[in-house]
């Protein structure tokens, strides 16, 4: 599903360039749960952004469902964002002016769903995430954990094939964190959503079926993908 071939990312610095990612070769299959770990500044977020097509690699090739991403038009890329990809952020990044309900609804709007479809889909998600009572509240009226739940609900709303989560529990206490991780696990298992998360916590990393370690832009260890099936 995801295949990186010798992908590098660098930024111009002075007369030269500083590499953030070097020669990353990586395959992620559908249904996997991958954790990316590494020290601060090692390029984890950058890698996630490249995978999520928010940033372009400087070198190398990226195939998403066998399509070369570099050659995709802006329109096609937006289409992928609408239908294949969901994002979860450490800082939740909810829209402050929108209620819980509307935040979850946002991706559906851009997907062009009809109003009744949207309604039933959001209702379903609220129900599933136990947020029905909170649907008319604004983000500022929620706890961090609740906000992240909304963030995840929003990410799954458009039924993506893959969710990219950048330190989704970074701002949360451990019990909240556990709740979120369980949720990811469940999404991965029950809905077959591919999940790629960045985390600093070994405990959280263990939720995945595979751990990638980054150091100074190099991919350090490489575990052979073992697809868990129950």
Partner 1 sequence: MFRNYVVIAFRNLWKHKLFSFINVIGLASGIMVCLLALIDIKGAFDYNNFHPNSNRTYRVLTDVTGNDNQKIAFASTPLPLADVLKREYGFVEKTARIIRDYTEFTVDQKKLGDYYCAVDPAFFTVLGYKLATGQPATAPNTAVVTPQTAEKFFGLANPIGKVIHTKEFGSITVTGVFQTLPIRSHLHFGLALSMPTLSTANRKQQQIDWKQYTIGYTYVLLKEGASVDQFEKILPTIAARATKAIRFRSEKGYTFRAQSMTTLSPSREELQMGTWEPSWGKLATEMSVGLVTLLLAVFNYVNLTLARSLSRAREVGIRKVSGAVRWQLMGQFMAESVVLSVFALGVAYVFLMLIEPMPFVQQWLIGGVQLDTTLWAVFVGFSIVTGLLAGFVPARVLSGFRPAQVLRSQTGLKVFKGITLRKSLIVAQFAIALIAMIALLSMARQQNYMATADYGFRSDRILNIPLNNVPYQRLANELNRIPGVEHVSATSELFGSHGGAYQNVRRQKSGGDSTAVFITAIDQNFIANMDLRLLAGQNLPEMVADTTGEGSPGRFVLINEEAVKAFRMGNPREVVGQSLWLNDTTEVQIAGIVKDFRFTTFNWTIKPLILNYQPKRFRFVNVRIAERTTETTLVGIQRVWKSLNPREPFAGEWYSDFLYKRHSHEDDVNFMGLLTALAFSIACLGLLGMVTYTTETRIKEVGIRKVMGAEVRQIIWLLSWDFVKLLLIAGAIALPLGYLAGMAFLINFAYHVSIGFETLGGCIGLLLGLGGLTIGFRTYRAALSNPADSLRSE
Ligand X SMILES: Nc1ncnc2c1ncn2[C@@H]1O[C@H](COP(=O)(O)OP(=O)(O)OP(=O)(O)O)[C@@H](O)[C@H]1O
Interface positions with Mg ion (CB under 5 A)? 45
Considering the complex, state which of residue 43 and residue 107 has its C-beta at the smaller distance from ligand X: 43
Q: Which residues contact 184 (CB under 8 A, 6 or more apart)?
A: 33, 152, 163, 165, 168, 195, 197, 207
* DSSP assigned state of 167: S
Q: How many CB atoms lie within 10 A of CB 124?
A: 12
Binding mask 20-59 for ligand X (x = CB under 6 A): x-----------------x-xxxxxxx-------------
Considering the complex, state which of residue 109 and residue 227 has its C-beta at the smaller distance from partner 1: 109
* DSSP assigned state of 128: H
Considering the complex, state which of residue 22 and residue 121 has its C-beta at the smaller distance from ligand X: 22
Out of Mg ion, ligand X, partner 1, none, which partner does residue 203 contact, by CB within 5 to 8 A per kind? Answer: none
Cβ pair 188, 125 in contact under 8 A = no
- In the region spanning residues 162 to 191, those forming contacts with partner 1, defined by CB under 8 A, are 171
* Binding test (CB under 8 A) with partner 1, winner from 7, 26, 36, 94: 94
Considering the complex, state which of residue 44 and residue 134 has its C-beta at the smaller distance from partner 1: 44
* DSSP secondary structure letters along 134-166: GTT--GGGS-HHHHHHHHHHHHHHT--SEEEEE
Q: Which residue, chain included where needed, has tokens 């950058």?
A: 46
Q: Which residue is nearest to ligand X (CB)?
A: 45
Q: Is 16 exposed, middle or buried (0-12, 13-18, 19+ CB in 10 A)?
A: exposed
* Binding test (CB under 8 A) with partner 1, winner from 13, 40, 66, 97: 97
Considering the complex, state which of residue 31 and residue 86 has its C-beta at the smaller distance from partner 1: 86
| 158 contacts partner 1 (rule: CB under 8 A) | yes
- In the region spanning residues 45 to 64, those forming contacts with partner 1, defined by CB under 8 A, are 45, 49, 52, 54-55
How many residues belong to the site for ligand X (CB under 6 A)? 10
Residues in the chain: 230
Among candidates 90, 51, 52, 86, which has minimal Cα distance to 168? 90
């Amino acid at each position: 599903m995801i295949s990186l071939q010798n992908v590098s990312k660098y930024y111009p610095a002075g007369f030269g360039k500083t590499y953030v990612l070097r020669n990353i070769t990586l395959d992620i299959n559908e249904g996997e749960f991958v954790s990316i770990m590494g020290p601060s500044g090692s390029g984890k977020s950058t890698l996630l952004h490249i995978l999520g097509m928010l940033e372009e690699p400087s070198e190398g090739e990226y195939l998403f469902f066998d399509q070369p991403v570099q050659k995709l038009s802006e329109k096609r890329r937006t289409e992928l964002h609408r239908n294949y990809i969901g994002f979860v952020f450490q800082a939740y990044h909810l829209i402050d002016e929108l209620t819980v309900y509307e935040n979850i609804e946002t991706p559906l709007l851009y997907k062009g769903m009809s109003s009744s479809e949207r309604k039933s889909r959001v209702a379903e998600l609220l129900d599933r995430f136990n947020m029905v009572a909170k649907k008319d509240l604004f983000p500022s009226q929620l706890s961090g954990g609740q906000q992240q739940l909304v963030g995840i609900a929003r990410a799954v709303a458009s039924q993506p094939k893959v969710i990219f989560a950048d330190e989704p529990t970074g701002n949360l206490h451990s019990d909240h964190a556990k709740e979120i991780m369980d949720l990811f696990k469940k999404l991965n298992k029950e809905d077959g959503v591919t999940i790629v998360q960045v985390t600093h916590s070994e405990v959280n990393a263990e939720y995945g079926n595979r751990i990638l370690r980054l150091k100074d832009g190099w991919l350090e260890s490489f575990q052979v993908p073992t697809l868990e099936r129950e």
